[in-house]
Amino acid sequence: MVRGEASRYRPSEPNPEDLASRLRQHPLGAGALSGPRQGSQPRGDPTPGRVTNDVDSEADGMELTRRQLFQWGARLGAAGATGWVLTQSSQAQAASQSPPSSQKGMLIDITRCVGCRLCERACASKWGLDPTDEHPSNQWTWLTQVASADGPRYVRNQCFHCLDPACVSACPVAALRKTAEGAVIYEEARCLGCRYCMLACPFQIPRYEWHSWNPAVTKCVFCYDRLAEGEAPACAVACPTGATLFGDREALLAEARRRIAAHPDRYVPHIYGEHEAGGTAWLFLSDVPFEELGFRTDVPTQAPPRRTDAIMRLVPPVAGGLVAALGALAWWNQQEEAGPGVDRGPEPKAERDDEGGPSA
Amino acid sequence: MKELTLAYAPGRVRDWAWHLTWTWPRVVLALVAGAGFVATIYRFIFGLGAATNLSDEWPWALWISLNVLSGVALSAGAFTIAAAVYLFRQRALKPLLRPAILLGFLGYLQVIMGLIVELGKPWNIWHPIIMWQPRSAMFEVAWCVMLYTVVLFLEFAPVLLEKVGAKARWLRAAQRITPALVVAGVVLSTLHQSSLGTFFVLVPGKLHPLWNTILLPLLFFTSAIVMAIGVVSLMTALAYGTLVRWDPAPLTARLLRWLPWAVGLYLILKVGDLVARGQVGELFTGSPEAGLFWLELALIVLPAVLALQPRLRSSRRGQGWLGALVVAGVILNRFNVSHFGLRAWTAAGYVPSLPELAISLGLMAATVLAFIAIAENLPVFSHRPPADRGA
């Protein structure tokens, strides 16, 4: 087939023998070498014999090109695998990354909350939120009342401040980021409003100013400015019963374990936030099972960004590998096409539709 | 010089007048596009809250599923055909390249317009240029879409140059950079077609187990190639007789020969992934999600099997239907991942509002109409296969 193809090569080609031998040696096969690129016919040369016969030659070369495709697939796969291996070291490095040692936290003991809502008010006055504004986006922390067998329970709802937040990894412009103290904060000036953070959040916490022409994402920012100065958040200061306890996350975790161990009859044996979504800064204790209080208990324990980080790390090696492999392929194709010693600079297309403008 | 434009449209040398023949389907497209335009104005005056049924529980509109995710997949013909022609030496497919690139270019403009409508602060859409966050798949997609739209414009530039009767030297320059553009286009497409899948790797708790896999980027990429074959087949079938005067059926048949291979690869990955994750049982639970998964598979596998028949894949009507099924199947996949697969978790009960629908469909209609208008006035379908010359 290759020989036949070569022998049908345009008779006007300067050196058919040379081409035939090159075709036989060519690793990519003959199919694509059967003529100049469409449109490389010099202008003003109407010789019909010089018209390309792409369709015919390609039909003959089909099997060959399919094999080529598999070969290239294998090569690209190898390039990808190499890149993957190369990134494993950095991945291992990242996996050993631990939350900042200064990670602050909050321990909410639902058994101690009396539903006074001082936390809500403290938050509103700290951040200048209008208490008469009914939009959910105007509440950064809000209390929900849940009926249980022995009286109502009050649950605080706000950002959990994940140790490895999905929203931070999702945001394309770093409008969301984690401070040194472990607060997840939002910078409206950077935001473009894609709302990927809202989709990404495993707890469905970020809210949006849907009613605004210039909407922002809103959520608890853990009074990051107070934290930076070593102070407790406004809501923790306001809490009169000690249901909201501020401190280092590790210390709070120990305290939570101590409380459960000391009063196994009072608490369900679960610290919500210890493992959820890879761990959160805010921890919850309860005497009522968490799912009954409206907590999502189907949140994965692995931090979601772990999954996407593993993929995004592949981007540079895949991009580099593809540029190298496909660039080489394109260059090779062009070299073959130019032919030996014939400088047929790619001309504008010579093939024309003589029928001109369509008229549907 | 003269010959350049003459060859395309005799008697229309430097004719700047635009011709658009109005047929009933085109009138319908224009009406839908017009409704979308009105809805877009409404959305920008009254805001997202008034124009959409979005909520804190359901933050991503129909626009993401249809105009962005499906839109990007529908534009995959450009990089696939370019790679076939320039990298994998399927020279015979070259007559399909210009229409595929035009479709891709307009498709990406459509994606960007969809994003402008979708974003809460669209005037900040350029922020990823200076505010880097390479950990985010969204950041990568933003960059790739920006760059690739430029690449597509450059790939399409020779058509414009021919139209305006540019000097041969310019056309030569444009052709000389084509291989580099093709490589750039294929790399950028590979990256962001797959990264659209990465979006949903970040929501393991929310996405239904049938689609919740770390392989989503790979599945998005392979299905984009499947989509490319489908959408180009559909396009040539619809364009025959009005936009294209030569018979594209033999070329489309050649393209469709690859469909079973592409679908086969996709299927191996998709089913293999289900098996590896131990979620095969989910297929038989009788849940709505299982039904949608089966439907998605059927819409892709059926045309792939039918494409094995030379008679079917050679007939224009067959090509149109095969293409339509594939397009529907891949669009359903994007909806399954970004919409139906998430519904159960949030229980938000989102149904798109009328303005949302109007904008979505309006953008799609405007894209098709723009394609028709440009193909009628510029040398888009001007390469004809040599075999067809005598006809």
- One domain, residues A193 and A283: yes
- One domain, residues A118 and A253: yes
Average pLDDT over residues B311-316: 93
Nearest CA in chain B to A311: B198
- One domain, residues A59 and A17: yes
* Total beta-carbon pairs less than 8 A apart between chain A and chain B: 287
> Is A225 strand, coil or helix?
helix
- Chain A neighbors of B382, CB-CB under 8 A: 349, 351-353
- One domain, residues A67 and A133: no
| A76 pLDDT above the threshold of 60 | yes
A contact test, residue of B48, B90, B117, B136 with most A CBs within 10 A: B136
Burial A138-151 (b: 16+ CB within 10 A, else e): bbbbbbeeeeeeee
Q: For residues A74 and A58, what is the distance between their CA atoms, to the nearest angstrom?
A: 23
The answer to the question of residue A97 being in a domain is: no
Task: Name the B residues in 186-215 with CB < 8 Å from any A CB.
Answer: 186-187, 190-191, 195, 198-199, 201-206, 214
Closest C-alpha to A225, from A114, A108, A127, A141: A127
- One domain, residues A118 and A47: no
Cβ-Cβ contacts under 8 Å for A114 (sequence gap 6 or more)? A154, A241, A243
ipTM over 0.90: yes
Q: Pairing relation of β-strands A282-285 and A104-109?
A: parallel
- One domain, residues A34 and A171: no
Nearest CA in chain B to A32: B89
Mean pLDDT of chain B: 92
- The label of the residue with tokens 């098996």 reads B275
Q: Does B55 touch chain A (CB under 8 A)?
A: yes
Residue B2 vs residues A8, B215, B310: alpha-carbon distances, Å: 34, 53, 42
Outline where DSSP puts E strands in chain A.
Answer: 104-109, 142-148, 151-157, 176-178, 184-186, 207-208, 217-218, 244-248, 282-285
Domain boundary among A272, A296, A312: A312
Average pLDDT over residues A80-100: 51
pLDDT by residue (tens digit) across A19-32? Answer: 444 444 444 443 33
The answer to the question of residue A252 being in a domain is: yes
Q: Determine the pLDDT at residue A226.
A: 96
Residue B387 vs residues A6, B241, B256: alpha-carbon distances, Å: 19, 18, 19
- One domain, residues A66 and A108: no
Residue A103 gets the label, from left (phi > 0), alpha (psi -120 to 50) or beta, of beta
- One domain, residues A150 and A294: yes
Q: Determine the pLDDT at residue A14.
A: 41
Residue A120, class by beta-carbon neighbours within 10 Å (0-12 exposed, 13-18 middle, 19+ buried)? buried
Angle in degrees, CA B32, B360, B222, rounded to 5: 125
Q: Does B277 touch chain A (CB under 8 A)?
A: no
Question: Cα B271 vs. chain centroid, distance in angstroms?
Answer: 24
Q: For residues B212 and A322, what is the distance between their CA atoms, to the nearest angstrom?
A: 27
Q: Does B136 touch chain A (CB under 8 A)?
A: yes
pLDDT by residue (tens digit) across A212-258? Answer: 999 999 999 999 999 999 999 999 999 999 999 999 999 999 999 99
Upper half-sphere CA count for residue B45 (Cβ side, 13 Å): 7
pLDDT by residue (tens digit) across B266-275? Answer: 999 999 999 9
CB B198 within 8 A of CB A311: yes
Structural tokens at position B244 = 């294209």
pLDDT by residue (tens digit) across B219-230? Answer: 999 999 999 999
- Chain A neighbors of B11, CB-CB under 8 A: 356
The answer to the question of residue A354 being in a domain is: no
pLDDT by residue (tens digit) across A158-167? Answer: 999 999 999 9
The answer to the question of residue A160 being in a domain is: yes
Type of residue at B293: F
CB A254 within 8 A of CB A248: no
Q: Does A69 touch chain B (CB under 8 A)?
A: yes
Number of continuous H segments (helices) and E segments (strands) in chain A:
12, 9
Query: Which CATH number fits the domain that encloses residue A296?
Result: 3.30.70.20
The answer to the question of residue A343 being in a domain is: no
Structural tokens at position A127 = 């951040």
Q: Do B120 and A191 touch (CB under 8 A)?
A: yes
Cβ-Cβ contacts under 8 Å for B271 (sequence gap 6 or more)? none
Type of residue at A153: R
Average pLDDT over residues B310-320: 94
Q: What is the dihedral of CA A136, A278, B277, A79, to 10 degrees?
A: 110
| A299 pLDDT above the threshold of 90 | yes
Q: For residues B336 and B293, what is the distance between their CA atoms, to the nearest angstrom?
A: 8
The answer to the question of residue A182 being in a domain is: yes
| B314 pLDDT above the threshold of 80 | yes
Q: For residues B326 and B341, what is the distance between their CA atoms, to the nearest angstrom?
A: 20
Q: Does B7 touch chain A (CB under 8 A)?
A: yes
Cβ neighbour number for residue A259 with a 10 Å cutoff: 17
The answer to the question of residue A355 being in a domain is: no
CB B375 within 8 A of CB B102: yes
Q: Which of B3, B171, B204 sits opposite A300 (nearest CB)?
A: B204
Range of the domain at A22: 2-80+317-338
- One domain, residues A51 and A112: no
- The label of the residue with tokens 């592409």 reads B262
Q: For residues B102 and B199, what is the distance between their CA atoms, to the nearest angstrom?
A: 27
Q: Determine the pLDDT at residue A55.
A: 39
Domains of chain B: 2-11+21-381 (1.20.1630.10)
Average pLDDT over residues B36-42: 98
Q: For residues A169 and A160, what is the distance between their CA atoms, to the nearest angstrom?
A: 15
CB A223 within 8 A of CB A106: no
- One domain, residues A126 and A228: yes
Closest C-alpha to B212, from B58, B319, B338, B332: B338
- One domain, residues A167 and A193: yes
Q: Which of A72, A204, A304 sits opposite B204 (nearest CB)?
A: A304
Structural domain total, chain A = 2
- One domain, residues A275 and A259: yes
The answer to the question of residue A17 being in a domain is: yes
Q: Which of B134, B191, B203 sits opposite A200 (nearest CB)?
A: B203
Q: For residues A295 and B287, what is the distance between their CA atoms, to the nearest angstrom?
A: 25
